[in-house]
Amino acid sequence: MIVSMLKAKLHRVSVTHSELEYEGSCAIDGMLLDHSGIREYEQIQIYNIANGERFTTYAIRAEDDSGIISVNGAAAHLAKPGHLLIICAFVGLNQNEIQNFQPQLVYVDTENKITKTSRSIPVQVS
């Protein structure tokens, strides 16, 4: 059995561009791709914190250290500059692979610069 597991997460990145007249995809600062392990052309899930929209597209590499998060094509209707997003990639693993697997989590500041990385999500109890 193959289980779909969280591979990588970019947490609370800010949309810098929204380009409707573009073929499609989401351009992501190359350093964010490198640190998260998300590959160019890999399928990603995007969750818009500002409006609750959830959609699927693929990642393309933007200039390193540019801070760019550009939502392109039809998805530009779903995310505008200034919106906060969570961008996730998933991987299919078998039971043996799951035992030692941990996702790569990347956290950023308001300019999409990395503030920390982690391999686990802290449990928050209210």
Q: Which residues are known to be catalytic?
A: 25, 58
The strand order across the sheet containing 43-48 reads: 17-19, 69-72, 26-29, 54-62, 43-48, 84-94, 2-14, 104-108, 114-118
Instruction: Tell me how far apart the alpha carbons of residues 48 and 6 are, in angstroms, rounded to a whole number.
Output: 17
The answer to whether the CB of 75 falls within 8 A of the CB of 69 is no
Region for 60 from its dihedrals, namely left if φ exceeds 0, alpha if ψ lies in -120 to 50, beta otherwise = beta
